Amino acid sequence: MHITEGFLPPLHAVAWTAASLPFVFFSVYRVNRLMREKPEIKLLLAASGAFAFVISALKLPSVTGSCSHATGTGLGAILFGPSVMALLGTIVLAFQTLLLAHGGVTTLGANVFSMAIAGPWVAYAVLRSAKGLKAPLAAGVFLAAMLGDLATYLVTAGQLALAFPDPASGIVGSFLKFAGVFAPTQLPLAVVEGLLTVVIVNFLREYSGDELQNLRFLPKPLVSEARP
């Protein structure tokens, strides 16, 4: 769910950009170092970034009829880890703004915070804890993608609530308002995205386990480790 250009008041746009910058800078630093150590990583990251853009542009089958798109944040966090995902997600969001007119330049910071930072970190944390609890991989992947998606949506609702507090019930009321209005599309979307991510991860484990082994952006590859 992209916040459109000009929707946020200037102060909020600046504040969210400032909040996202440290994460993105750290990611730039880390990716740049990775690419220096292994030049071929650049091509792998480029392919992954383009993949993330294309998957997010695909229309999802939707229950409610309105057209909705996958976010790919969960999948990205599972495959590459959240610290790489901050930069890749920022690039993808910027491309969505410039090529599809989704989102905006001034709201890029807010969108990066919800989609490239909050979503991936939640997904990563969920997958980690599911692994810690010895849950089946499919369950972990499903929960990670679904909760990552939900986190993105709730953070966006929170951003809107902070920017436009309700005159009667304040920020809390406003949050419930925005969370409520987007819930009919976002809740089914999160479930569909969770299922979709499971299908993708299963497919990849079955047919390209070797490539997954090579995706060492993570300290320990979460998905490939559990190969049968």
Partner 1 sequence: MRAIDHYAWTNRWRDWHPVEKGLPAISLLVLTLILPPLTTAPLVLAGAMLTTVYGAGIPWRTLVSVLAAPLMFLLAGIPFLAISVDFASGFDLALSPEGLQLALVTALRALAAMSCLAFLILTTPLTDGVLLLRRIGIPAGVIELILLIYRLIFVFSERALTGRQAQAARLGYSRLDRSVRSLGLLGGNLFQRALEQARRLEIGLMARGYTGELRVLPPQWKPSWTRLVAGMMGVGLVGLASGWLARSLS
Touching partner 1, residues 190-219 (CB under 8 A):
192, 195-204, 207-208, 211
Per CB under 8 A, 1 contacts partner 1: yes
Per CB under 8 A, 84 contacts partner 1: no
Q: Rule CB under 8 A: which of 163-192 touch partner 1?
A: 164, 166-169, 173-174, 176-178, 181-182, 192
Which 3-state string (H, E, C) describes 34-80?
HHHHCCCHHHHHHHHHHHHHHHHHCEECCCCCCCEECCCHHHHHHHH
120-128, 143-151, 162-170, 218-226 -> range binding partner 1 (CB under 8 A):
162-170
Q: Rule CB under 8 A: which of 12-51 touch partner 1?
A: 13, 28, 31-32, 35-36, 39-40, 42-51
* Closest listed residue to residue 147, CA positions, set 176, 124, 116: 124
Of residues 57 and 187, the one with the C-beta less far from partner 1? 57
Alpha helix (H) ranges present in the chain?
A: 10-37, 41-57, 73-80, 82-100, 108-111, 119-132, 137-163, 170-207, 209-214, 222-225
5-13, 121-129, 140-148, 219-227 -> range binding partner 1 (CB under 8 A):
5-13
Q: Please state the closest distance from residue 132 (CB atom) to partner 1, in A.
A: 26
Alpha carbon distance 145, 125 (integer Å): 11
Alpha carbon distance 146, 132 (integer Å): 18
Answer for which of 77, 91, 116, 118 binds partner 1 (CB under 8 A) is 91
Alpha carbon distance 73, 92 (integer Å): 11
* Closest listed residue to residue 80, CA positions, set 226, 204, 228, 219: 219
Answer for which of 89, 104, 120, 221 binds partner 1 (CB under 8 A) is 104
Of residues 65 and 132, the one with the C-beta less far from partner 1? 65
Per CB under 8 A, 136 contacts partner 1: no
